[in-house]
Structure 1
């Protein structure tokens, strides 16, 4: 019974969130504003930290960020990114080249070091400042893709530049996050930073994404040939 009650509460909570998101999306569409802003605003207003905190059933808050909600959110982001990938080939993505790499790199380096300096000025210790600065480096490819798709600009040169920079930003942000987490988990904290270990962590992350890029651009097109997909009876 407890599992069934939890399932029903989750379904009702998701239904309320979807209804609010759709309602605000329609409102922003009529105002000729990006729909994603309306959906974000709906989440902020109806979410568990605002009006959602007042929706109580049997003494429990109905709208909660539980594991099911997190999984659904991650699935939604994956679908958005997958649809963006269908609109752009790896070669088109690489056309952004140096410009995307420069913008993406600056999008990590500048917020990280600026945040590190500012929060230390406000009295935070080095590790706390590093964690907050790392959070500032993150971007949202899903939001960028949704806005570009809404305005029909997903195949434009500007879109390639924005998405390319966002991808570089996220890759570097993951590398920075892995380093900061390893420092936080170290017995000596910031005082026990090992440059060689930090370098290895960064190279591991960059190496993984480089391998995925090589596979997508050079290996997969040779493995999955157009003739294979056009064969009679194939899916």
Structure 2
């Protein structure tokens, strides 16, 4: 027990240090937590215990749920095509480019190359959402369109992993059926609980949300999927409901950014080995270049088509270039099923984590949207619909 408290104290010290540095330098605390984790993991060998794994995993689940719940239904309708096109291109091109790079440049076998393509095609909803919250962009049209595109991107990753490796089993069908049922009953159930018990000191409505997320995480893993996927879907399904209960979302946000996400982001940094970075730096940088270049080739032209503006377009592309949750999950899947070696796993994880840091730092420092440039996105498709409606009222 004494040892557990010491480990907890060290992790909380790292979390506090990251918060203070973030405030001082004006960089997202999620990125600073990853960097602090890298230093702590390699210098003091910060221990990852079972309870740290749980807090980090559940933190990713709740954070993903919040990202979905923050997207207003109106925004999804208005920017459906932007999110779909950008999300699909942000997945497809990096998947093909990174898979080809692994196969032809580094001569990995076909299965290892597929894992590399999947792991490096991702966009980190967790990182993007954390950045959006801190920068105040989560409530803007641009921010919500980016979050929706992140979901489409990662859904492509999950489907690719299922089609190429895990297959579709009876257990996965059970998970899908349960998820559909929960999607339909979650809002009516929450409405009753919230109306009757909202505002009580014991916060039963927040416990209800955590219960649903924990249950769905279990069912997802039982079905061979990932715990964060149903969290995002439920969040989007309940987004309209939570427009009436913004205060509850603020409370959940305070809880997760204090008690859960520091463990998630610091753990991501702890997984990076200085030795791996030094000995395999060339491969890591080449993979990072493959991923970022492919994202730019796919996303940036799409942002121009949808008239994001130059600054907003580059900002969007850089955030879509981030990776973390599904990237590390896909890499770990490849390692545990012997599709990739330990060295290949180290290269992929280091690349994924660097992709969470480098593009976000560049986006925040050099391409952050400014008031002079309109944040609300103008869609050519939306303009066409308006013209049709005007001609045919």
Common topology (TM > 0.5): yes
Aligned counterparts, 1:122-137, within 5 A: 122-137=106-121
Quick one: distance in 1 between partners of 2:79 and 2:6?
43
Structure 1 residue corresponding to 2:44, chosen from 39, 52, 75: 52
Establish whether residue 71 from structure 1 lines up as the match of residue 54 from structure 2. yes
Structure 1 residue corresponding to 2:153, chosen from 162, 169, 194: 169
Quick one: distance in 2 between partners of 1:95 and 1:9?
52
* 1:24 CA displacement: 2.4
**Residues 143-194 of structure 1 deviation map (CA, whole Å, 9 limit, x = unaligned):** 1111100111111111111110111111111111122323xxxxxxxxxxxx
Aligned counterparts, 1:140-159, within 5 A: 140-159=124-143
CA spacing shift, 1:20–1:227, aligned 2, 3 Å? closer
Structure 2 residue corresponding to 1:9, chosen from 3, 15, 37: 3
Q: Which has the larger radius of gyration?
A: 1
Structure 2 residue corresponding to 1:118, chosen from 101, 125, 142: 101
Whether the 8 Å contact between 2:71 and 2:147 is mirrored in structure 1 is: no
Give the alignment's TM-score, normalised by structure 1: 0.69
Establish whether residue 21 from structure 1 lines up as the match of residue 5 from structure 2. no
Quick one: distance in 1 between partners of 2:28 and 2:187?
39
Whether the 8 Å contact between 2:75 and 2:141 is mirrored in structure 1 is: no
The aligned residue for residue 185 of structure 1 is: none
* 1:14 CA displacement: 3.2
CA spacing shift, 1:127–1:84, aligned 2, 3 Å? closer
Quick one: distance in 2 between partners of 1:143 and 1:23?
19
Tell me the matched-pair count: 195
Whether the 8 Å contact between 2:84 and 2:149 is mirrored in structure 1 is: yes
Q: Secondary structure at the match of 2:36?
A: helix
**Residues 189-221 of structure 1 deviation map (CA, whole Å, 9 limit, x = unaligned):** xxxxxxxxx6x68xx79x949x75x975xx459
The aligned residue for residue 31 of structure 2 is: 37
The aligned residue for residue 187 of structure 1 is: none
**Residues 78-129 of structure 1 deviation map (CA, whole Å, 9 limit, x = unaligned):** 2323334443344434433011111111121111110111111221111111
Is there any run of 5+ residues in structure 2 with no aligned partner, and where?
205-393
Q: Secondary structure at the match of 1:88?
A: coil
Quick one: distance in 1 between partners of 2:195 and 2:19?
39
For the aligned residue pairs, the C-alpha RMSD in angstroms reads: 3.2
* 1:138 CA displacement: 2.2
Whether the 8 Å contact between 2:87 and 2:149 is mirrored in structure 1 is: yes
CA spacing shift, 1:31–1:230, aligned 2, 3 Å? same
* 1:228 CA displacement: 7.7
Is there any run of 5+ residues in structure 1 with no aligned partner, and where?
54-62, 183-197
